Structure 1
Amino acid sequence: MFVRALPAVVLVGATVAGMPAAQADNRRLNESVAVNVYTIQHQADCETDLKINPQLQLAAEWHTRDLLHNRALDGDIGSDGSTVQDRANRAGFVGTVAETVAINPALAISGIEIMNRWYYRPDYMAIMSNCANTQIGVWSENSLDRSVVVAVYGQPG
C-alpha cells in the first residue's frame, strides 16, 4: 500500500513544481495601509483628506520590486542609486515626497505588522502624521521568503 501511494505523491509534487508561481493580489493590503495612514493623520488633527495618487503608487511599485529582487537593498535608495524623490519625479509627480518601507523575511506581512513597525519609528511616524502629505501611493509584493511594502507620500507642488 505504501509503495503505491508514493508515486502519486511524486506525481502531484511534479505537477505543482511545474505550475507558474501565483501572484497575490495585495490591493486590500495596500488600501489598508493608506486607510491606517489617514487615521494617523486625523489623530494628528490633520483636516485634509489623504488621496491615492497613481504616480506615487507607480514610484512605490518600482521601489517595491527593486527591493524584492535585490536582497542587498534594505531602505530608500534603489539599486540604481535613485532616491524616492527621483522615482516620484520619473513617475511624473510634481512636488516633495517622503517614503516608508517595510521588509519582512517571510511570505506575507500583515497591515498590523506594517503599522507596528512604522508607528514606533519616530522618523516614519513624522512622515505619516505630516498633514502636508496629502497624497499617497502604496505598493506591496511577496516572494516565498520576502515581503516588501513601500508607501510614498506626496506634497503636491
Structure 2
Amino acid sequence: MTASSILRALPAAVLVAGAIVGTPAAHADNKRLNESVVVNVFTIQKQHGCPTEIKINPQLRLAAQWHTNDVLNNRALDGDIGSDGSTAQDRANKAGFVGTVSETVAINPALAISGIEILNQWYYRPDYMAIMSNCANTQIGVWSENSLDRSVVVAVYGQPT
C-alpha cells in the first residue's frame, strides 16, 4: 500500500471506528423473564391451594434489584447474604417494605438464563419450594441481570403486616 492509498482509506477507518465506539452497549430488557417468574410462582401457589393471587410489589422488586446487582458483581456471593452482610429482610426493610420476607436466588454461569433454568434451580430445592408455595407470601418482587458470563435472578417474597 502506498501512503496516498492509506490516507484515502483513513477517513473511512475513522468513521467505522467512531461508529463502533459511539454505539451504546446493549442492555437486555428482562421484563418478560421477571414477569414469567411471577407467573410461575403464581402457578405453584395455585397448585398448592393458595386462595389469593400473588401481587408484584415495587419495594420488594427494589430489594431484589439490589441483591441481584450485588450477586452479579461479587462472584463470592451465591445466596441470600449480601456483600455487606445484609439479609433479604434487611434489604426489604431498607426499601420500605413492612412485613416478613424470604428470598430465592438463581445463578447461571452464562450470558442468559431461561425460566426453565430458574425453575430447575428452585423447584427441586425443598427450602425454595416451601417459599414459593407458601400461601402467606402474597407479594413478590423479581429482578434479573446479565453479564457476559453470569446471569442472576432474585425473587423476594413478602408477607405484609
- What corresponds to 1:25 in structure 2? 29
State how far apart, in whole Å, the 2-side matches of 1:82 and 1:96 are.
15
For residues 138-153 of structure 1, the aligned pairs below 5 Å read 138-153=142-157
Stretches of structure 1 lacking an aligned partner (at least 5 in a row): 1-7
| Identity of matched residues, % | 82
Deviations 1:70-89 (A, max 9, x none): 11111100011000000000
State how far apart, in whole Å, the 1-side matches of 2:124 and 2:146 are.
23
Match for 1:125 among 122, 129, 147?
129
Q: Is 1:90 aligned with 2:103?
A: no
- What corresponds to 1:5 in structure 2? none
Q: Is 1:111 aligned with 2:115?
A: yes
TM-score (norm 2): 0.87
CA RMSD in angstroms comes to 1.9
Task: Report how far residue 20 of structure 1 moved.
Answer: 3.3
Task: Report how far residue 21 of structure 1 moved.
Answer: 2.0
Task: Report how far residue 116 of structure 1 moved.
Answer: 1.2
Stretches of structure 2 lacking an aligned partner (at least 5 in a row): 1-11
Deviations 1:19-73 (A, max 9, x none): 4321100000000000000000000000011000000000000000001111111
Q: Per the alignment, do residues 131 and 29 of structure 1 end up closer, same or farther by CA in structure 2, a change over 3 Å counting? A: same
- Return structure 1 stretches of 4+ with deviation > 6 angstroms: 11-14
Paired letter, 2:146? N
Q: Is 1:58 aligned with 2:52?
A: no
State how far apart, in whole Å, the 1-side matches of 2:111 and 2:45 are.
29
State how far apart, in whole Å, the 1-side matches of 2:51 and 2:20 are.
51
State how far apart, in whole Å, the 2-side matches of 1:32 and 1:136 are.
12
Asked which structure has the greater CA Rg, the reply is 2
